[in-house]
Structures are given as C-alpha cells and as structure tokens.
Amino acid sequence: MAGKKVIVPIMSELAAAGKEPDILFWVGCAGSFDDRAKKVTIALSKILNEVGINFAVLGNEEKCTGDPARRAGNEFIFQMTAQQNIVTLQMYNVKKIVTACPHCYNILKNEYPILGLNNVEVIHHTQLLQQLINEGKLKVDGGEFKGKSITYHDSCFLGRANGIYEAPRGILEQLDANLHEMQRAKSNGLCCGAGGAQMFKEDEKGDKRINDERAAEVIGTGAEIVAANCPFCITMLQDGLKSENDKRQTPIMVLDLSEMIVQANKL
C-alpha cells in the first residue's frame, strides 16, 4: 500500500460536476502552510482515501477561522473572517466537517453557530478515526509502535474545552502501545504554551517556558514517543524537547495520531 498517490478533491471542482462530498476536511492554516503540520494533512488524507470516505477540501476558498484574532482580542477581524467562511460553507451545503486542529474544531463547533452556521456536524479527526475503527472500516496494526513506550498530550481545546479524552487513547490501544500518562493529564492537563494566540507573540517574563515544563513531564514518563492531536502542540513539544533530543542517540518523537496509523499500517 506504500507509495499510493494521495487524492484530495477540491470542493469547487466537485460542485462544478454536480457532486457533494460527505465530509469537508477543514485543513486549517497550520495544516496548509506549516511544513510540519502538512505531514498531518497528508496522513489524514491517506487514511480517508484508504477507507473510501467521500471528502473534499475548500482549497483557496478556505480562510483562517479567525480563532487567533478572537483569542488576541480582535473581535472585528474574527467576525469578518467567520462570516466569509460561513457564506462559503453554506454555498456548498456543507453538513459535516472534520479537522485535525482542535482550535479550528472548537471555534467551528462552539462559536460559529452563534454567527449563523447551523445544522453542521463538526468533529475532530481523532473522533473520526476512533469511529472508523469501531465500525471496522479502519484496521489498525500496531506495527512499529507495538510495545513502544508512549505518552499522550491532551491539547487544551480538545481536552478541557470539549471533554474529548477517550477517543485518542482508544487509538493508542489499537496500536498496542504502552501508554504512560504524564503527571498532568486529561482534565488536569498542562497547556503546551501556544494557546490563546500565544503561538504568535513573544514570550512574557517568567522563570520557564511552558513547553519546557511540559517537555520535562514527557521526559519523566520515560516515553519514546509523545502522541499529539494539534499542530500547535506538536510544534511546541518538539521545541521543548530539542535540548533533550540533542543529547540522545534516539530522539523522543512527536507524532500526530493519524501519522502513527499511517506508519503502522504502511499506507
């Protein structure tokens, strides 16, 4: 199965052919432009191709959700951006959205409806992956992760903001990995340091960066891999682990759950 061409349909092209996908894959800014996050976009697309899900992306018609603007206090920019996106989604009669970004997930699901985006189901990719596994549509082999020591980082917007803790852990169970929880996990999880638009500003005064604090907890578990579900978290964890990894012969890997499935199944 390795080496298959990844097919990612564009919504406008499907509409021109009189077709509607079952799911819109909301890629997000990170998944579109950040080199590390692009790998997650490709991994999820590979899985969607493999299980035969009829999906599409907006391509150039997708704008930022406006989440960073709202978190940073610029409500005007947020509402302008959100309204543009809502018009586009309604134009294509979108009924279901999946995204690999918890920030996009949270704002599309919980805040866009106030501005008029109604009757649209929004799910995070870990929820979709777990659903596909439960339905028997996605077979997950432990592969290279079988028996590996893994810890899992709960992103703030997926965890505390939306109470999604079990779906990601359920995927790790299917990979036959040994899960070692960090000292702060689930509802007591620690932010990676990027939330609230902090990703896009300089550090404030303090004794330690938050991602260094979180990286220390990762190291404390003895894990070989830290699983994540958010492009911002992946960036911050990789940065926090850099000094530790520079000293190691085998670095601690930071991987999205979709990447782990692709690697395990050799998609």
- The DSSP code sequence of 114-171 is GGT--S-EEEEHHHHHHHHHHTTSS----GGGTT-EEEE---TTTTTTT---HHHHHH
- pLDDT tens string 60-101: 999 999 999 999 999 999 999 999 999 999 999 999 999 999
Structure tokens at 26: 């909301």
pLDDT band at residue 210 using 50, 70 and 90 as cut-offs: confident
* Residue 26 pLDDT: 98
User: Is a pLDDT exceeding 90 seen at residue 245?
Assistant: yes
Q: What is the pTM of this model?
A: 0.94
- pLDDT tens string 100-134: 999 999 999 999 999 999 999 999 999 999 999 99
Q: What is the mean pLDDT of the chain?
A: 94
Same fold, 11-130 and 140-265: yes
DSSP 186: G
Q: What is the CATH number of domain 140-265?
A: 3.40.50
- pLDDT tens string 217-230: 999 999 999 999 99
User: Is a pLDDT exceeding 60 seen at residue 21?
Assistant: yes
In angstroms and rounded to an integer, the radius of gyration of the C-alpha atoms of the chain is 18
Helix axes 35-51, 231-246, angle to 10 degrees: 120
* Residue 115 pLDDT: 97
CATH class of 11-130: alpha beta
53-66 mean pLDDT: 97
- pLDDT tens string 128-158: 999 999 999 999 988 899 999 999 999 999 9
CA atoms within 13 A on the CB side of 171: 27
pLDDT band at residue 201 using 50, 70 and 90 as cut-offs: low
29-57 mean pLDDT: 97
CB 74 within 8 A of CB 196: no
| CA-to-CA separations, 67 to 55, 107, 163, 194, in angstroms, rounded | 24, 7, 19, 13
| CA-to-CA separations, 54 to 22, 46, 82, 253, 258, in angstroms, rounded | 5, 12, 25, 31, 18
Side chain identity, residue 129: L
* Residue 202 pLDDT: 72
Any idea where the domains of the chain sit in the sequence? 11-130, 140-265
